[in-house]
Structure 1
Amino acid sequence: MADLQHSGDKIVLRNGYGIPCIGFGTWKLPNDEAGQGAVCQAVRDGYRHIDTAAFYGNEDMVGRARAASAFSHEDLFLTTKVWNTERGYEQTLAAFEKSRKKLGLEYVDLYLIHWPAAKGADTAWQRTNQETWRALETLYLDGLVKAIGVCNFKPRHLEPLMEAAEILPMVNQIELHPGCNQEETRAFCERHHILVEAWSPLGSGRVLENEVLRDIASAYGCTVAQLCIRWCLQRHAIPLPRSVDAGRIAENARVFWFDISDEDLRRIDGLDPLGQSGLDPDTVDF
């Protein structure tokens, strides 16, 4: 990703579709004018990739922000996700249509399974994931989505899904930030040409006071947030930072003027567990 120069520069997915290298996350953004203002501010600051989900309850706000921008859909990349209560073939198709209408789109750029089914007998949860994935394949083949993928899938969830799939996942969105390396999942995705996206790339702000990160950031003349975002990019993941502060929204997209050295990348990789959400797809109860 050394050739990336701007947040709107694209990385090519396994199917040839381009995805902007930094996304703007919308988790917990309100479904009102304040949320719309944050998304519009992000677009003005160069973000061309907006990430939402049915569960966030703000798809219609994201749709309004897109419509209010100076850009057509072809110039903006929109992601949304199917929630856990809508897993299954017919349920996922219906959930997608609701999301598409809220977003006001003819098609969605990227559609993801938000969390894997992971509990109970293997045959049951694997079948649930496979049937949900079959719906995403249908949407893709029908041209209603340009790319499909998953969120929060570990290798043990991906393997049975991929064995049954006709179209392999193009993206896996996972919690990823300094102190939460996800080395096993990242290595699996790299082997199988699945692009990793990083939700909570700043550890929900909990990593920003870490002394090692502050020391490294000081040496580069950047903020700790910029360092974390740059680390994601250099670890071949698309970061999805979120903020409602105009200054931070702009700052988080300005990470292309420096490169983290191999030595400093290893220092960051070696941090003890830090800033993790505690959400494990094998144990979550939602």
Structure 2
Amino acid sequence: MTSEQSWTCPTVELSNGVQMPILGIGTSQVGGFSQDTVLHAVRDCGIRLIDTSKYNGFEVELAEVIRASGVPRSDLWITNKLWPEDYGYETAKKAFQKSCSQMGVDYLDIYMLHWPGSMLPGRCNREQRAEAWKALEELYEKGLCRSIGVSNFMIHHLEQLKEDCNVVPHVNQVEYHPFQQPNKLMEYCRQEDIAFQGYCPLAKGQALSNPTIIQLAQKYGRTPAQICIRWSIQNGAITIPKSTKKERVAENCQVFGFQLEEEDMKAINKLHDGRHVSWDPTNVE
């Protein structure tokens, strides 16, 4: 791809009819953060989905990116997340307002519970998840969030939330890459009309040296990173690769001009070994 805004990112329709870009840019404390690179992604590469969280601590810097990009707010998709220390009903709403203020926005496109466990003493995780989720439901009903979702939730967390609350999450964001393929969770999300989003699509770089990935990169004349991102997207996962390098971000966008053959998708599917390169929420009650 040449001039970098000459493409339009495909979208995934959420259960409430809102269209969410299938490709964005992630931000994380791990591996560093480059404000210039995120600005390049939005202004020069056509990326519209920016994924962040209070925990990562880049809200003020991202406010500057949003201003400097020149992209209308209505064309952007801003994801932010509620950290578990704010899982009280009132504290959740206050945390939301502070995040919006820090980012210089009036609303978020999606606000998520960041983690199924709580950091508040005295009550069980399930109760605190439900209380925080009810605050998000209220924000959604008031139009302050276009959608609401969860991150790192397993099936049992989603089942409990469905029993305890009114709005089924529009999105569930979890670790997803060739070595970590939670297929039962993906199928559950499909059945419940919850969009599936994956982070760490390159397994923090571990997938880039895998012989199968390298072989496919050579076959398609692409980079290993593009193979991993294309695989995620072809599996229907909203994908948010992270990089601090401008050339890598531009490369990560160039995944819509080719398609992996079914046999090659299956070859990557066989790479699953269950490893986590990030947090593992499996045992959170």
2:38 maps to amino acid: V
In 2, Cα distance between the equivalents of 1:129 and 1:275?
Answer: 26
Counterpart contact for 1:206–1:275, Cα < 8 Å = no
Shift of 1:275: 6.0
* Structural RMSD (CA): 2.1
What is the match of residue 197 of structure 1? 197
TM-score of the superposition, structure 1-length normalised?
0.91
2:98 & 2:278 partners in 1: Cα distance? 30
Give the aligned residue type for 2:41: A
The size of the alignment, in residue pairs, is: 276
What does residue 281 of structure 2 align with? Answer: 281
Whole-angstrom CA distance in 2 between matches of 1:29 and 1:63: 20
Once residues 69 and 145 of structure 1 are traced to their aligned partners in structure 2, the CA distance between those partners, rounded to angstroms, is 22
Alignment of 1:1-286 (within 5 A): 6=7, 8-28=9-29, 35-43=34-42, 44-117=44-117, 124-273=124-273, 276-277=276-277, 279-283=279-283
Please report the TM-score for the alignment, with normalisation by the length of structure 2: 0.92
CA shift in 2, pair 1:176/1:163, >3 Å: same
Q: Is the 8 A contact 1:118 1:282 kept in 2?
A: no
Tell whether the 8 Å contact from 2:24 to 2:50 is kept in structure 1 after alignment.
yes
Q: How far is the alpha carbon of 1:277 from its aligned partner?
A: 1.4
Q: Supply the AA of the counterpart residue of 2:24.
A: G
Moved more, 95-104 or 8-17: 8-17
| Distance in 2, Cα, partners of 1:26 & 1:268 | 25
Instruction: Give the 3 Å change call, closer, same or farther, for CA 103–134 of structure 1 in structure 2.
Output: same
| Per-residue CA distance 1:88-126 (angstroms, 9 max, x = gap) | 21111111111010010111111000000279xxx8221
SS in 2 for 1:56: coil
Distance change in 2, residues 1:278/1:102 (3 Å): closer
| In 2: Cα distance, 1:175 partner to 1:274 partner | 11
**Alignment partners' CA distance in 1, 2:133 and 2:9:** 28
| Offset at residue 252 of structure 1 (A) | 0.2
Closer/same/farther in 2, CA of residues 21 and 116 from structure 1, 3 Å limit: same
CA distance in 1, matches of 2:279, 2:26: 18
SS of 1:55 mapped into structure 2? coil
Tell me the alpha carbon deviations over residues 145-187 of structure 1, each in whole angstroms, 9 at most, x when there is no partner.
1000000000011001011221110000000001111111111
Is the 8 Å Cα contact of residues 7 and 48 (structure 1) preserved in structure 2?
no
- Post-superposition, which runs of at least 4 consecutive aligned residues in structure 1 deviate over 4 A? none
* Secondary structure of 1:146's aligned partner: coil
Q: Structure 2 unaligned runs (5+)? A: 1-5
Matched position secondary structure for 2:109:
strand
C-alpha distance after superposition, 1:20-78 (max 9, x if no partner): 110101112899xx732111100110101100100000011111100111111101110
